[in-house]
Each structure stands twice: as structure tokens, then as C-alpha cells.
Amino acid sequence: MTVLSTSPQRPSDVVVEVGEGNVGAAVDRARVAQREWAAADPGVRASALHAIADAVAASDLADLVVREVGKPVVEARGEVARAAAILRYYAQQVYDPVGETYPGGLSFTVRRPHGVAGLVTPWNFPLAIPVWKAAPALAFGNAAVVKPSPEATGCALALADLMTPHLPDGLVAVVPGGAPEGAELVARADVVSFTGSGAVGRRVAADAVGRGVPVQCEMGGLSASIVLPDADVEAAVADIAWAAMAFAGQKCTATKRVVAVGVDVAEALTDAVARLVVGDPADPSTAVGPVISAEARARVVGHGGRALDRDGWYARPTVVVDPESRLHREEVFGPICVVGVAPDVESAVRVADSTEYGLVTALYTRDLDAVLSYVDTVRSGQVKVNLPTAGVDFHLPFGGERASGYGGKEQGKAAAAFYTRGRTVQIKGNA
């Protein structure tokens, strides 16, 4: 069988067509290469990551991201820059301490790599997510085998082409394929990191735990933005419009629900959304391009959105004002969000927490007391104040709660704990 990836704005444009990869062979080669890599001086690993960062920064990957997943070009360029910055960030971390010493003779801890990291990645951040998983895995001495989403196969292969000249042969591999290849990678890897749907993530977590290997799964969200009466409504709706609709709302951190407390935001938000340019993602003025597939567009339409009559999988950005809408309960990966109301901040937080998800919640207010209460009580892995739900800083730990995430956090210093295992050493001196 073959893996076929086409452009969502021009479905007749075949970006890549390749055969399914051999997971077993890739993992076996990576395991051999990892032994050499783990034993290398930290400076070797740092130099390699810096060289890869330079290659990524100088590449034309942004054009491929635009073509393959329909990401607007300004965001695509930002993703390339972010991928390079992540690589440089983890190139520095190879020099971080790897343990602690304790009193009582010579007692200390060390951290060691797991071995082969199996990385199952989505299409919506076809560079940043593979990099934010692979960069720390490599920095701390692991090999990395990536099974990308079929819709982002071309980006993954191009990224690997930039990485492999700077690494031992076989240390990094991309295995094209679908669910069977992903399941086989989970069954063979020594540590597993997954980003994707909740249904698949739960199976990945169960399979990895059943084998006794570390696993982290990021599985989407139904993120809410709460707007209080004292908020700067104009700034809030501008943030929310972008967080809900940019890149056609295809981010796990996108705002999907808006909860207004004592203020009417529906009209202002609808106006702000209407000002976003919908069009060809290669045009720098475009904020909203196509959704990834015909099926994705049909799901948007089925929840109250409208298809646009043009080539490609375009849907009109839509703000829904309906207390009975399924959008209050169901995540739709597209340019659509729902507005609701609540009588006070406590009720709004309960509304925000009323789904099974817990990825990001944002609060717009000038009220410090409300902020402190919100930060303590909201049930999300990420909490933001006067900031959009969308957007992740790679130096900060990232991860959701409840159905949004399982296992350790990603990114920042948290990655070191996930991609390594601790060992306690005690040495008795000569009498």
C-alpha cells in the first residue's frame, strides 16, 4: 500500500506518494545507532542539534507546510523559526546537570536515556511537534523514530532529510504509514510520545502501559475563553477571533467556546472574525485557509458551519450563538466556535470545566481576585490570563488534564524527565 498526501487548497496536487515504512527495520537500526549516540560527548550532541537548527532555518520548509497542510504562510514561517529555536534550546540542555548528590558516603543520582523514542505526530504542526518531541529525545541520548500523520508525510520526510546528515546513520527515521505502523511503533519503542485524537491516544497509552514503557499522550481540547465585564472587550475579541479561526481553527489549543459574564461579546466577536482574510494560504494576508480534508469540512458544516464554493476544502469562519449547540460538548477541528453566557466567574469556570477535556482555559479581566481564584480552581493543564488559548511557549511545560492529556508534560525542562530514567548510585569507600 502507499501513503498519499494531497494539498487541501488544491486537492488534485499530490504532494507525496510513498510506500509504507518498515517499522521493525527502522527501530532495529535506531537501536544500534543509539548506543553510539548515548556514549557521545555532550558537545557532539549539542553541535549536531545546532547544525540541524541552522539547516532548518535556512530551508524552504515553510513553502512545503503551506502546500501540504494549508497553513497560512506567515504562520508557516513562524513554525520553521520555532522549530529551529526548539533545536537550539535543547542543544543547550545537553550541558544541564544529570543528577544530584546526597550526604552519607558517596550517594548520587544519574539520568540515562531510555533507548528508542517512538514519536507519533499529527499533521497540524508538521514541523514543530516532531521537533519538540525529537529534539529533547536526541539531546538526552535517545534515538527517534517518527510515524507522522499521513497528511504531513512530505513535511516529515523533508525534515528528516535535513536532520540525518548531522547524526549517526539510522539514529532518526521517519516511517510513513497509518494506524498499523503507529501501533507497531508503540509496540517496539522504549518510550512513546503521541499527539492526536483522544480515541487513538487512549489506545496508545494502554498499549504502552501494558508493556511498562513511559508514555505521554496529548489528545486535543475544547478550550474556553471567559470574558468578564471589566475586560478590555476589544482586545479580548481580537485575541479570541485569532485563537478560534487562524489556520482554520485546526489547533488543539484553539478557542472552541467563549463564556461571557455580564457582557455581550457575540456581535463584536462575529465582526472580528469577519475581518479575518479567508483565502489562499500562500498569500501573506490570509489568516484562514482550508481545513485539511473533505471529511473535516463536512464535520464543520454538520455543526453549523458553511462550506465555501471554491477549489479546496474551505469552510466559512463561523460564530455560533446557541445554548443547545453540540459545540459546547464536541470538539470540531475547524473554523467554528460557540458563545455562551454565565452569571459570574465561578459559574463561568464551571461551564469551562464541564467537558471531559482540560487543555487550555483563558480568562479576560482586570480583576486580580478573579485571576487568583481562576488560576487555583480551573481544571486545565494550561491557564492563561488576558492571553489567547492558542499559542505555546516551548520553554514552558505543556500538557493537558483529564481527556486532554496523559503522562508527563512536554517541552521545557519537563522533557528531560520524560526522555530519561533516573538511577540511584551508592558507593562505599575503602575501609
pLDDT digits (tens, 9 = 90+) for 31-56: 999 999 999 999 999 999 999 999 99
pLDDT (tens digit, 9 = 90+) per residue, 55-72? Answer: 999 999 999 999 999 999
Query: What region does 120 belong to: left with phi over 0, alpha with psi -120 to 50, or beta?
Result: beta
- Domain membership of residue 228 as a residue range: 223-385
- How far apart, in whole angstroms, are the C-alpha atoms of residue 29 and residue 66? 32
* pLDDT over threshold 60, residue 431: no
CATH code of the domain covering residue 343 = 3.40.309.10
Amino acid 336 reads: I
Q: Look at residue 220 in the predicted model and tell me its pLDDT.
A: 86
Residues 42, 168 share a domain? yes
Number of domains present in the structure of the chain: 2
Residue 391 lies in a domain: no
Residue with cell 485546526: 250
Q: Above 90 in pLDDT, residue 155? A: yes
d(CA 129, CA 122): 8
Q: Are residues 271 and 161 in the same domain?
A: no
Q: Is residue 397 part of a domain?
A: no
Beta bridge partners, 110, equal: 423
145 and 276, same domain (yes or no)? no
pLDDT for residue 430 is more than 80: no
Do 371 and 277 have their domain in common?
yes
CA atoms of 322 and 324, how far apart (whole Å): 5
- Provide the sign of the torsion angle of the four alpha carbons 307, 72, 222, 219, taken in this order: positive
Specify whether 367 is located in the same domain as 237. Answer: yes
396 found inside a domain? no
Least confident residue range of 7-21, 129-143, 273-287, 383-397? 383-397
What is the DSSP pairing of strand 357-358 with strand 215-218?
Answer: unpaired
For residues 268 and 369, membership in a common domain is answered with yes
pTM of the shown model: 0.93
* Residue 398 within any structural domain of the chain: no
The answer to whether residues 136 and 184 belong to one domain is yes
User: Given this model, what pLDDT does residue 370 score?
Assistant: 81
71 with 211, same domain: the answer is yes
Is residue 395 domain-resident? no
- Shared domain check, 253 and 214: no
**Mean of the pLDDT values across residues 346-370?**
91
Residues belonging to the active site: 218, 252
Do 231 and 215 sit in the same domain of this protein?
no
Residue 374: per-residue pLDDT:
84
Of 26-30, 173-177, 263-267, the poorest mean pLDDT is in 263-267
Measured in degrees and rounded to the nearest 5, phi and psi for residue 254 equal -60, 145
77-94 pLDDT per residue, tens: 999 999 999 999 999 999
**Same domain (yes/no): 417, 366:** no
User: Where residue 320 falls among pLDDT bands split at 50, 70, 90?
Assistant: very high
| Average pLDDT, rounded, for the chain | 95
Q: Which CATH number characterizes residue 60's domain?
A: 3.40.605.10
In a domain, 232, yes or no: yes
Please report whether residue 38 resides in a domain.
yes
User: 35, 32, 84: which is closest to 61 by C-alpha?
Assistant: 84
pLDDT at 367: 87
Instruction: Give a yes or no: residue 122 inside a domain.
Output: yes
Whether 343 and 215 map to the same domain: the answer is no
